[in-house]
Amino acid sequence: MKLSPLALTLTLLPAGQLLADTFERDQALKLPDVLISANRQVEARNDSSAANTVFTRDDIDRLQPDSITDLLRRVPGVQVSQAGGRGSVPGVYIRGTQSAQSLVLVDGQRIGSSTSGDSNLQHLNIEQVERVEVLRGSRSVIYGSDAIGGVIQIFTRRGGEQGLQPRLHTALGSNQTWERSLGLAGGDERTRFNLGASLDESAGINRTHESYPSDGDHDEYRNKSFSLSVSHALSDDIEIGANALDNRGKSEFDNPFGRFDMNTFESVQQQPDNEFDVSSVSSYIDARINDLWQTRIEFGHSENREKTLDKLSDERSVFNTYRDSVNWQNDLALDERNSLLLGGDWYEDRINSSTAFDEDSRWNRAAYIQHRYRADSFSTELGLRHDDNQQFGSQNTWSGTFTLPLNPDNEVLFTYSEGFRAPTFNDLYYPDFSNPDLKPETSKSYELQWRSQLTESSRLETSLYRTDLEDAIIFGSNSRPENVASARINGFEATLKQELFDWQSNLGVAIIDPRDRDTGHTLARRARRTLSWDLDRQFDRLGLGASWQAVSSSYDDLNNQQPLGGYALLGLRSSWELNREVRLELKVDNLLDKGYSRALYSYQGSQYGYREEGRAWMFGVTWTPGI
């Protein structure tokens, strides 16, 4: 595949030279050949040491995913385990690590709950997203805690360069699903903005098979989303901006376990639903001090609020977490071969809960440095980070990469990286089920990458890696978390992108062996083999595409006594541009109506799989009138 003019320009820049010297950051978010998340700066994807996958807005429109989790299933080495269709809580396993061991960002801000560790990705509306970047492998030197398995960063939609660009999208589908969104983008040489709002509603499905009669209904889902982005260039060297994303609504769910009544010592039926609010606000100042020094300061605030209600009782539970953050990064181009990244960040977590925690706030402050050297025959990257946390004290992490170009079309990369995850508030302070003496989970990873431009229209990227986890947190026999577990994860990933006879093919495969080192058992809900294949072609105004996803069997429990069957899903999609303003879309997911489960539950001593949606269709219309 040919590099875009932007990516080609980047490869010719001296080491450390920033995109801001030639292009603006908002423009880069629309391009496939660049990467921002790896080092918090814009660089060519081919220059980054991180194994990565990028989805632009054009990719999202072409693939027509229902959600961000639907998009993530296409990433090699990433597995998504949900418990009952749209709106259900997903487990996202990057390279075999747990959900809480991977970091999720929205416009640079952490959005994960500091009580549960979940990021609630299922509630981030795909219509408000400009770009998704997925980094596979530890990036703790840059981001600190939680980035053991990798980093997922979502960027909200951005404005254009000239004039006003309104858009309206509506879609109808299976299970009484109705999607509506509208937006307005615009800009000029100095200012850009985007404003968007969405409302998604679905009658849903009955998420459980055998269960209490109260759980026999369909589980509805409703999500209202709002996004705003604005940037303004005060001068040729200084830019300011702000971004906001808010998702709120209600998700009904089944609870086959019931509620334990302490008075009768029996399990009581429930009909629960969850009211959620996931939001993020950030602002920044980006300045080029001189030809060698670029600085950027970001301020952020995120909230993750949940209220669980039961229609059959007066019970209410509230878990609200709040996070304020500041990051200051400096990028220095020392000379044509050497560059330096210097930064510091601070964030504070606070909780407001119906459950009384022993502690309800804590802060974390950190400093990091990374040096990059590029010679004619090799390049290196070496980084160090120091975190100081109010609860668990200090933590140092290292990373290093050696890149060896074999020829203009092939290179190999050797990487060593360390990572850690800080215990959550639930781990440390939840009444009667916590342990304030917990240490952070730690990891050491080793990776060998081979990247090859096989032909002008074919590119292959492979990774062979090993991750060792220590002090993993599990619940012990006393129902309290302990640092006792360790794990070893070996894996292989490959991505092949190819254009042949105007067909665009994206094939991703992954093989992993994730094991508990003490028992030898396979880690729960990690399939050993996954495959994802997307095939698309544009025939003038008609677009056709297909997706094939295959997942091998796995286990639902640590003891490997509860098997989950493998499955394969086929999807078809099409689009038709009636004219320059109107686009029609039609897709069918799970075309063969495959029954499958990604998680199990127990009911009256038997195991059942949570239902996932069968064959489902969606028809949509997008209108982008010219002004």
What are φ and ψ of residue 26, in 5° steps? -60, -35
For the record, the structure tokens of 103 come out as: 């970091």
> In angstroms, how far is CA 298 from the centroid of its own chain?
20
Extended strands (E) in 174-271? 177-187, 191-202, 221-233, 238-252, 259-261, 266-268
Q: How far apart are CA 88 and CA 452, in angstroms?
A: 39
Q: How far apart are CA 266 and CA 84, in angstroms?
A: 26
Question: What's the pLDDT band for 404 if we cut at 50, 70, 90?
Answer: very high
Q: What is the pLDDT of residues 437-452, one digit of tens each?
A: 899 999 999 999 999 9
Q: How far apart are CA 339 and CA 369, in angstroms?
A: 11
- Write down the pLDDT at residue 119: 87
DSSP code at position 594: -
- Write down the pLDDT at residue 18: 42
Supply the mean pLDDT for the chain: 91
Q: What is the pLDDT of residues 522-574, one digit of tens each?
A: 999 999 999 999 999 999 999 999 999 999 999 999 899 999 999 999 999 99
Single-letter code of the amino acid located at 2: K
Domain of 520 in residue numbering reads as 5-623
- Write down the pLDDT at residue 263: 62
Question: What's the pLDDT band for 23 if we cut at 50, 70, 90?
Answer: very low
The residue-averaged pLDDT of 497-516 equals 95
Q: How far apart are CA 240 and CA 230, in angstroms?
A: 9
Q: What residues pair up with 133 in beta bridges, in sequence order?
A: 54, 153
Of the candidates 271, 304, 298, which has an alpha carbon nearest to the alpha carbon of residue 284?
298
- Write down the pLDDT at residue 15: 38
Q: What is the pLDDT of residues 82-116, one digit of tens each?
A: 888 888 889 999 999 999 999 999 999 999 899 98
- Write down the pLDDT at residue 82: 86
Per the CB < 8 A criterion, the answer to whether 582 and 547 are in contact is no
Is the per-residue pLDDT at 240 higher than 70?
yes
Q: How far apart are CA 594 and CA 81, in angstroms?
A: 16
For the record, the structure tokens of 413 come out as: 């990369």
User: Buried (b) or exposed (e) across 281-291, using 16+ Cβ within 10 A?
Assistant: bbbbebbbeee
Does 254 or 342 have the greater pLDDT score? 342
- Write down the pLDDT at residue 473: 87
Is the per-residue pLDDT at 10 higher than 50?
no
Extended strands (E) in 60-162? 78-82, 90-94, 102-106, 109-110, 129-136, 150-156
Q: What is the domain-level CATH number for residue 115?
A: 2.40.170.20
- Write down the pLDDT at residue 95: 96
Query: What total number of domains does the chain contain?
Result: 1
Is the per-residue pLDDT at 13 higher than 50?
no
Is the per-residue pLDDT at 11 higher than 60?
no
Dihedral (CA of 594, 600, 603, 608) sign: positive
**Predicted TM-score of the model (pTM):** 0.94
